[in-house]
Every structure is written in structure tokens, then in C-alpha cells.
């Protein structure tokens, strides 16, 4: 039986249940299962939406510009960074990735809860920026952060290889970076181990629903 979809903001078209859109940062070492978990969340809750980031990495097979990412040249990325358009940006696994502030604010103004799938450096940058923002700023008011860990490095490697999207050199680089990324886990308000997928998804859902005051 298909699971029912949930409206998290509107109980009816006029009365919002919560007036505070969330900005949820989710970070994890690559291959951990973050997309699997977050895609399911976005699918179940139509009011939760991804912020589409910019990247200089080439598209993977099946990826489309403006859907998974905005694929930019390095020159374009640098220009946008110089213009102060990014809420945060970082060099991850040899490529640049960044979140456009306008993308996030627009989605929040539309009444959506926004998921930021960003790396540990970007999350750190964002927390530092928040500290200087007005406490009433929607980004600061809605902020929460979650770190997802793999059950072990061996399992992480199995998942990266099993996914079959990256060549060996790329997988090795991602595994090399994973240990360093795990050291940042303690900076996040919530930490979830993605061992059993159902259990991890339940934990993720509970964190989000309670941030909304619904659990």
C-alpha cells in the first residue's frame, strides 16, 4: 500500500500549523545513504524541498542542469562567489559546491521547509554566519543540523562501490575524506547512524517533525 503524503505546514489553505519554515542542514560522508534518506523524506512530505546547489563537478549520467545541481564553470562559480551570492560554499572532493542565498530564501518565503545537503565545511561556515544574523532572520530561526554516519568504513566502501556511479579514483578520494568528515559529527545538533535504513529513516523523520513541533 502506498504511504500517504503529509502536508506539514497547512492544515487547510488558510491556517498554517507552523509559521516557521525550517532550514535543515544534512551532512554525511559520501556514500553513507544521505540521498536515499533525504529523497524519501522529500517524497513523503511535499512541503520539504531540496535547495538546488551550484557545482563545478561534471554531471553524472542522468543528472540535469537545474534539477540535481546548477552545473557551472569554475569562472562562473568564482564570479558568483565574488558577488556574495553564496550563503556558503566549499571545495569538496576537488570540486566547488555552493548554496545560493536567493534559492534558500525564495523557497522559505514560499512556505517550504528547505533541506541543505551540504558538506561539513559548508555547515560550519553557515553556523558562523548565523551567529552574526538577527535572531529573527528566517535562516537563523529555522536552522537545525543533522549528521549521518555510516555503521563502519568497510560498509561505507561497500555502499560507494555498490552504487556504481563513480570510478575507482573518485571512490578512493571520497573514502580518504570520510574519516576527516566524521570528526565534525559532534558539531551537529543531531547525529544518526545509517545502519538499518528503516530505523535511520524513522530517526530522521522524528528529528524533523519535532523541530516543527509536530512530534
Interacting residue ranges for ligand ADP, rule: CB under 6 A: 28, 30-36, 159, 162-163, 194, 197, 200
Contact 119, 181 (CB under 8 A): yes
Interatomic CA distance for residues 172 and 109, integer angstroms: 40
Residue 34 or residue 80: which is nearer to ligand ADP going by CB?
A: 34
Residue 39 or residue 76: which is nearer to ligand ADP going by CB?
A: 39
122 binds, among ligand 5GP, ligand ADP, none (CB under 5 to 8 A by kind): ligand 5GP
CA distances from 76 to 26, 67, 88, 122, 156 (A): 26, 18, 16, 19, 33
119 binds, among ligand ADP, ligand 5GP, none (CB under 5 to 8 A by kind): ligand 5GP
Sheet with 86-92, edge to edge strand ranges = 69-71, 53-55, 95-100, 86-92
- Would you call 108 helix, strand, or coil by DSSP? helix
Q: Give the H or E element holding residue 24.
A: strand 23-27
Instruction: Tell me which of 24, 88, 114, 159 binds ligand 5GP, using CB under 6 A.
Output: 88
Residue 38 or residue 72: which is nearer to ligand ADP going by CB?
A: 38
Instruction: Tell me which of 119, 159, 204, 212 binds ligand 5GP, using CB under 6 A.
Output: 119
Q: How far is the CB of 61 from ligand ADP (least distance, A)?
A: 14
- Would you call 141 helix, strand, or coil by DSSP? helix
SS (H, E, C) 142-171: HEEEEEEECCCHHHHHHHHHHHCCCCHHHH
144 φ, ψ (degrees, to nearest 5): -150, 155
112 binds, among ligand 5GP, ligand ADP, none (CB under 5 to 8 A by kind): none
Within 1-60, the residues that bind ligand 5GP by CB under 6 A are: 30, 53, 57
88 binds, among ligand 5GP, ligand ADP, none (CB under 5 to 8 A by kind): ligand 5GP
Q: How far is the CB of 103 from ligand ADP (least distance, A)?
A: 20
Sequence-ordered list of residues with C-beta below 8 angstroms from that of 200, at least 6 positions apart, any chain:
33, 37, 148, 192, 193, 194
53 binds, among ligand 5GP, ligand ADP, none (CB under 5 to 8 A by kind): ligand 5GP
For cell 542542469, name the residue. Answer: 65
Residue 21 or residue 33: which is nearer to ligand ADP going by CB?
A: 33
CA atoms within 13 A on the CB side of 61: 5
Residues that bind ligand 5GP (CB under 6 A): 30, 53, 57, 88-90, 92-93, 97-99, 117-119, 121-122
Amino acid at each position: 500500500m502506498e504511504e500517504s503524503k503529509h502536508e506539514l505546514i497547512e492544515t487547510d489553505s488558510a491556517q498554517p500549523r507552523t509559521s516557521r519554515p525550517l532550514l535543515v542542514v544534512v551532512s554525511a560522508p559520501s556514500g553513507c545513504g544521505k540521498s536515499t534518506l533525504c529523497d524519501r523524506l522529500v517524497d513523503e512530505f511535499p512541503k520539504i524541498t531540496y535547495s538546488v546547489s551550484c557545482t563545478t563537478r561534471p554531471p553524472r549520467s542522468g543528472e540535469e542542469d537545474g534539477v540535481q545541481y546548477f552545473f557551472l564553470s569554475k569562472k562562473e562559480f568564482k564570479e558568483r562567489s565574488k558577488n556574495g551570492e553564496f550563503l556558503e560554499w566549499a571545495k569538496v572532493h576537488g570540486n566547488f559546491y555552493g548554496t545560493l542565498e536567493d534559492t534558500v530564501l525564495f523557497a522559505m518565503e514560499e512556505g517550504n521547509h528547505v533541506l541543505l545537503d551540504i558538506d561539513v565545511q559548508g555547515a560550519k561556515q553557515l553556523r558562523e554566519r548565523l551567529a552574526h544574523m538577527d535572531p529573527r532572520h528566517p535562516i537563523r530561526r529555522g536552522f537545525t543540523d543533522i549528521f549521518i554516519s555510516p555503521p563502519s568504513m568497510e560498509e561505507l566502501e561497500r555502499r560507494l562501490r555498490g552504487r556504481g556511479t563513480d570510478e575507482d579514483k573518485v571512490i578512493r578520494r571520497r573514502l580518504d575524506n570520510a574519516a576527516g568528515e566524521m570528526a565534525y559529527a559532534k558539531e551537529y545538533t543531531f547525529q544518526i547512524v545509517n545502519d538499518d535504513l528503516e530505523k535511520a529513516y524513522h530517526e530522521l523523520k522524528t528529528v524533523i517533525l519535532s523541530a516543527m513541533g509536530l512530534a
